[in-house]
Chain A
Amino acid sequence: MRDSWDSLPVLAQDLIIAGALLLPLLVIGGVLMRGFRPLPLVRALMWRFRWANLLFILLIAVSTGMGIGLIAQERGLRIGSAQAAEKFDLVVTAPGSELTMMLAAVFLQPSAVPLLDGVAYDRIANHPQVQIAAPIAFGDSHDGAPVVGTITDFVTYLSDGRIEGRIFARSGEAVVGAAIDLQIGDRFTPAHGRGSGADAEAHEGVEIEVVGRMARSGSPWDRAILIPVETVWEVHGLANGHTFEEGDRIGPPFTPELFPGTPAVIVHAGELWANYALRSEFTVAGETMAFFPGTVLADLYRVMGDVRQAMSVMSIVTQVLVAASVLLGLFILTRLFQRQLAMLRALGAPRRFVMAVVWGYGVTLLVAGTALGLAFGYAAALVLSRIVTQRTDILVTASITWAEVNLALGFLSAMSLLSLVPALVVLTRPVVENLRQ
């Protein structure tokens, strides 16, 4: 049984789950409405209490949309951040907070972090399993965008070689991210620092020329300006990692004694399995710390997951409250309509028909509210995603998946079952008494 289920395509599984969730609603609807035409009366009820109905539909929509939007947004952020960190197999930094180091090195969030010295870098770069050991140097910016010093191998690796123009070949050249408002051939002077505290005149006289543009990656590196790490050191009046005899050469190898320091080294191993050994080797107490950004993110997701769970509980509580208010509303509205419902019984309408009218009315509110809720949830996730993308440059895409649809269908089905209660209560009221009211 389990094997046959697992052998089904995912879409088929989702459709089956959706069908199973909808089944109670369909069965109740089928049993109640078989052979009848209650819809004209449902329409009449909908129109009679249109404002109250609209309010109920909005209540259902907001409570459903809140839950759905929350889940969709959280998933979008998780996928977006994971994709943004995809290129960063292993990061080596000075000992400290992995989260702070990851946010600084992978997501380019400004932060003051200690530096690794030339010996440490040399040990990493010369390890036989290390294919790329990219020093990352930051601290400057241009027009709010971080200016990051690194090496050409890393730029090629980061952009998968998708570069318009060319990679920087000497100090004073730059490759910009896809979201940077600079064209190839443009020149700029970096400001010292980032944000409101940036000093635009600190590096006066330094001119950097844009020679290439990376394709969009959906990561904060789209809004970064990459320059040779030597340029960063030079504009800060430091040694550039090379001896005088090496001339204007850029990139590794660096002379450890002339290596001014780097906050992080991005490591790409030749083989995937080697990453675990490297993490172990580069984690040296009091000297260096190696971590997988993916693992740090997974920890972060776990915390986010707890928050999401708490918010999901709140959203479920809201939905239950809304469900209770909808049921209460159904009781009240059917009381307002009880003379007409009693008249139907007096005319000879079977109990099942009267139930079909009341239940159909309730379910119409629920279906409309849930459908609108899905749309609300999607719209909310879309707006939030755009805000997060704009602020972090992590490409967050909102999408409604079968999980959200099934959540909505489950709510709908459960509520359709509960809607039988007011429909049954209507039948317990004496016809003659209701006719006389």
Chain B
Amino acid sequence: MAMPLQISDLEVRAGRRMLLTVAELSAPAGALIGIRGPSGAGKSTFLHALSGLIEARGRLCWGEVDLPRLRPERRTAFRARNMGLIFQDFLLFEELSPQDNAGLSGLFKPRRNREAIGARAAKALARLGVPEGTRTVGSFSGGERQRVAIARALATDPGLLLADEPTASLDRRAADALIEDLTGLARAGGKTLIAVSHDTHLLERLDRVLTIEDGQVTEDTGVQAA
């Protein structure tokens, strides 16, 4: 289920060094948001804070859940239930088949959910045109691998999709096809998509783009539009 995002006075630090501050930010459920900015500006840090992978201070609420207030294991459980993560370099198990990779969450989810995860993984793979069969993903092209990674993110039917440079490892043609698929699936499923990217083709397809510089949101096309 997609959830609205509400952030206020968010701070992420590494020791005494401030990495990111976000004074106020909100987004409705189902929004497609891009994050851009120069390297080292804090884009990935923001994404990690949104996913609860790093400690943060302030409020960062997904729906009613204030993520920084949760203990690490509760944040992990929240992520497992509500988020699908997509990484720049896919992070697949090359020795496994696309179906096994896409259904990876089924390995640690309760037994009763495994079948549904497997079925959703298969459906997502089919929808994304990933070749069927017993081939391992080690023999796949970059585009095919990223599709498997998207299918993995969708297999748990999360309300939130968080993607870190999803097209950076792909050639233009594969990237465009992937953008089509990713945004199409997010919109069709009513999911919130937050993607860190330098890819203007992707950012153009999103509802709103945040620019982060020196650890601060310096531009928000959503705010300008309002």
Contacts and interface: CB of A to CB of B under 8 A. Distances in A.
23 contacts: A35-B110, A37-B106, A37-B107, A41-B93, A43-B95, A44-B93, A44-B95, A47-B95, A343-B87, A344-B108, A347-B80, A347-B104, A347-B152, A348-B77, A348-B78, A348-B83, A350-B73, A351-B73, A351-B76, A353-B108, A431-B53, A435-B91, A436-B44
Interface in A16-64: 35-38, 40-41, 43-44, 47-48
Contact of B107 (A38, A343, A345, A436): A38
Given A41-B107, A431-B53, A339 B91 contact: yes
Nearest to A45: B95
Interface of A: 35-38, 40-41, 43-44, 47-48, 339-340, 343-351, 353, 431-432, 435-436
A40 B96 contact: yes
B53 A347 contact: no
Given A43-B95, A47-B95, A340-B93, A348 B105 contact: yes
A36 B106 CA distance: 9
A83 to B, nearest CB: 53
Contacts of A36: 107-108
Interface string B101-143: 0001111101100100000000000000000000000000000
B197 interface: no
Given A48-B95, A339-B91, A346 B51 contact: yes
Contact size range, B: 20 to 34
Given A35-B111, A41-B93, A48-B94, A348 B48 contact: no
A38 B111 CA distance: 13
Nearest to B83: A348
B106 to A, nearest CB: 7
Contact of B85 (A38, A47, A340, A346): A346
B54 interface: yes
A347 B111 contact: no
Contacts of B79: 346-348
Given A37-B114, A349-B76, 7 more contacts: A343-B91, A344-B108, A349-B105, A349-B107, A350-B77, A351-B76, A431-B53
B53 A40 contact: no
Nearest to A50: B95
Contacts of A343: 85, 87, 91
B157 interface: no
B13 to A, nearest CB: 13
B205 interface: no
B100 interface: yes
B81 interface: yes
A40 B91 contact: no
A277 to B, nearest CB: 76
B51 A347 contact: no
Contact of A350 (B78, B95, B108): B108
Please provide the 7 A-B residue pairs with the shortest distance between their CB atoms, ordered closest to farther.
Answer: A348-B80, A44-B95, A353-B108, A343-B91, A348-B79, A47-B95, A37-B107
Given A35-B110, A431-B53, A432-B48, A350 B91 contact: no
